[in-house]
């Protein structure tokens, strides 16, 4: 079976809406591109929340500590599980897809997603993303809560995380936006249609062999089987 992630589905939607071209979509699906500096900052920020002992010099230490005290499982009586990855099968007219989701923090019936944005904040981009619908399905939760940390724009002269550290001026977020998507907002038919569209795209472009799910050698995720 073909394996795709929530981010793959979002990339496909960008292609459908004309934001990226076919070649860019294929590069994204096959993970050929290197993560941008903004993506690296987001990854670093999340891992610094998860691991309270992680040395990190690119974020304001008092801000980071406050976020850790609010969201780190280690500082909240081990409440919740960070970096929880699951896979489930979704049936579509052309066959089946193995769909993957990675929760930043799974706490009871709530998935918490940490996001970073730079410059302006646009709540619509999160509502229009299909990620939260995938997560509500896969994790069986009632709500997906987004916590978006808004940072100033990154100067173009900075190219790497080391460049940021070398400035001696840790990054500081200027705002934090918290909002939720609830199970009642799900559109199952829409989710299946996007999955079907991406499945057909992968088949037509002949790249399914590079996106095949190998269940026997999959040790990175919890396989939950079929879901409705």
User: Mind listing the pLDDT tens digit for each residue in 97-146?
Assistant: 999 999 999 998 999 999 999 999 999 999 999 999 999 989 989 999 99
pLDDT value at 228 more than 50: no
Query: For 2-36+81-226, CATH number?
Result: 3.90.320
Strand partners of residue 191: none
pLDDT in tens, 38-58: 999 999 999 999 999 988 889
Give SS3 for 192: helix
pLDDT interval class at 225 (50, 70, 90):
low
196/93 Cα distance (integer angstroms): 7
DSSP 142: S
pLDDT tens figures, 195-204: 999 999 999 9
Query: What's the count of helices (H) and strands (E) in the chain, helices before strands?
Result: 8, 7
Average pLDDT for the chain: 93
Distance CA 157, CA 200 (A): 41
3-class state of residue 109 by DSSP: coil
Domain boundaries, the chain: 2-36+81-226
Residues 196 and 9: their CA atoms lie apart, in Å, by: 10
pLDDT of residue 75: 85
Q: Which residues touch 225 (CB under 8 Å, ≥6 apart)? A: 88, 89
Three-state DSSP class for residue 57: coil
Q: Is the dihedral of CA 139, 197, 125, 190 positive or negative?
A: negative
Distance (Å, whole) CA 14 – CA 25: 8
Question: What's the rounded Cα separation, in Å, for the pair 180 and 25?
Answer: 28
What's the whole-model pTM score? 0.91
Q: Among 96, 85, 101, which Cα is nearest to 136's?
A: 101
The stretch 53-66 carries a mean pLDDT of 93
Per-residue confidence (pLDDT) for residue 226, from 0 to 100:
61
Q: What is the pLDDT of residue 77?
A: 86
């Amino acid at each position: 079976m073909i394996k795709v992630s929530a981010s793959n589905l979002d990339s496909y939607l960008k292609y459908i809406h004309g934001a990226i071209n076919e070649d860019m979509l294929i590069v994204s699906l096959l993970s050929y591109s290197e993560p941008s500096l903004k993506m690296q900052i987001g990854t670093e920020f999340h891992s610094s929340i998860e691991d309270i002992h992680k040395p990190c010099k690119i974020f304001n230490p008092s801000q980071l500590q406050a976020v850790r005290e609010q969201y780190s499982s280690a500082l909240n009586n081990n409440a919740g599980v960070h970096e929880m990855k699951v896979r489930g099968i979704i049936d579509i007219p052309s066959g089946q897809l193995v769909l993957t989701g990675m929760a930043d923090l799974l706490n009871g019936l709530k998935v918490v997603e940490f996001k970073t944005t730079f410059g302006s904040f646009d709540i619509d981009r999160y509502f229009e993303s299909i990620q939260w619908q995938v997560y509500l399905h896969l994790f069986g939760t009632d709500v997906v809560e987004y916590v978006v940390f808004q940072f100033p724009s990154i100067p173009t002269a900075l190219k790497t995380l080391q460049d940021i550290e070398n400035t001696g001026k840790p990054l500081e977020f200027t705002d934090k936006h918290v909002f939720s998507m609830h199970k009642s907002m799900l559109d199952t038919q829409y989710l299946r249609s996007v999955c079907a569209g991406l499945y057909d795209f992968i088949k037509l472009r002949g790249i399914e062999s590079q996106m095949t799910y190998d269940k026997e050698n999959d040790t990175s995720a919890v396989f939950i089987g079929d879901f409705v």
